[in-house]
């Protein structure tokens, strides 16, 4: 597998753990793709002005032979198949899969920005990413994920959930090569 990819996944509608597990299993089923690691699950307060329930968030490390455009298209199709419905910006989501990093490339097109533009401001992404890739260096800032997490001033609540992590791992254990827990 020639590309290393980091993804952020979140859900705050319906059976959140099942949506996350379905997404991770779906990613593992992508052609020439391996899910290497999954972070702990975090319960996080939503960002934005929309009243909604808390999210469950995880990060996933993946290796793939797909190029970034193809991989992004597969993610968007997976979200659609799982049942993601469009809502207002930063609104409730059955599943949200964000392409955080693709190798160390920097890409800015109309449909895609890599690295994800909000990552440095979001503890709900940085904390689970630090579980699986604390020394990964952000290609634009030159800082590690651990350094970005330490400097983050995001005041939204985030809490590691051993209960949800155990549930998720039971649902995806056969889909990953190196579970964190």
Output the pLDDT for position 29: 94
Output the pLDDT for position 98: 93
Residue 111 in domain: yes
Q: What is the pLDDT along the chain (181 residues), one digit of tens a residue?
A: 799 999 999 999 999 999 999 999 999 999 999 999 999 999 998 876 667 788 999 999 999 999 999 999 999 999 999 987 766 565 678 899 999 999 999 999 988 999 988 899 899 999 999 999 999 999 999 999 999 999 998 878 899 999 999 999 999 987 776 544 4
Output the pLDDT for position 88: 56
Residue 72 in domain: yes
Residue 36 in domain: yes
Distance CA(55)–CA(41), nearest Å, equals 10
- Which residues, other chains included, contact 44 with Cβ-Cβ below 8 Å and sequence gap of 6+? 10, 54, 55, 56, 57, 123, 124, 156, 157, 158, 159
Residue 51 in domain: yes
Q: Which residues are catalytic?
A: 84, 93, 96, 98
Output the pLDDT for position 178: 54
Output the pLDDT for position 180: 45
Supply the range of the domain harboring residue 68. 3-118+157-175
Per the document, the length of the chain is 181
Output the pLDDT for position 177: 64
Tokens of 167: 């549930």
Distance CA(29)–CA(181), nearest Å, equals 22
Output the pLDDT for position 50: 67
Residue 180 in domain: no
Global pTM value: 0.92
Distance CA(128)–CA(119), nearest Å, equals 12
* DSSP per position, 130-173: HHH-TTPBPTTT--BHHHHHHH----S-EEEEHHHHHHHHHHHG
Q: How far is residue 150 from each of residues 3, 10, 127, 134, measured CA to CA in Å? A: 27, 22, 10, 11
CB atoms within 10 A of CB 26: 20
Residue 133 in domain: no
Residue 86 in domain: yes
Residue 151 in domain: no
CB atoms within 10 A of CB 5: 25
Query: What domain count does the chain have?
Result: 1
Residues 166, 41 contacting (CB under 8 angstroms): no
| Domain harbouring 12, CATH code | 3.30.70.560
Output the pLDDT for position 93: 81
Tokens of 25: 């299993």
């Amino acid at each position: 597998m020639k590309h290393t990819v980091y993804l952020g996944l979140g859900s705050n509608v319906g059976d959140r753990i099942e949506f996350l597990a379905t997404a991770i299993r779906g990613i593992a089923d992508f052609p020439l793709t391996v899910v290497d690691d999954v972070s702990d699950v975090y319960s996080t307060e939503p960002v934005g002005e929309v009243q909604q329930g808390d999210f469950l968030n995880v990060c996933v490390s993946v290796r793939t032979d797909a190029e970034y455009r193809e991989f992004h298209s597969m993610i968007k199709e997976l979200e659609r198949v799982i049942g993601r419905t469009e809502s207002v910006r930063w609104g409730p989501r059955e599943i949200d899969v964000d392409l955080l990093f693709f190798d160390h490339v920097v890409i800015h097109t109309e449909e895609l920005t890599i690295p994800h533009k909000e990552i440095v401001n979001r503890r709900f992404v940085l904390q689970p990413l630090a579980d699986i890739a604390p020394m990964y260096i952000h290609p634009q800032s030159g800082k590690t994920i651990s350094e970005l997490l330490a400097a983050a001033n995001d005041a939204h609540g985030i809490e590691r959930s051993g209960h949800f992590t155990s549930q998720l791992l039971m649902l995806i254990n056969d889909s990953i090569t190196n579970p964190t827990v």
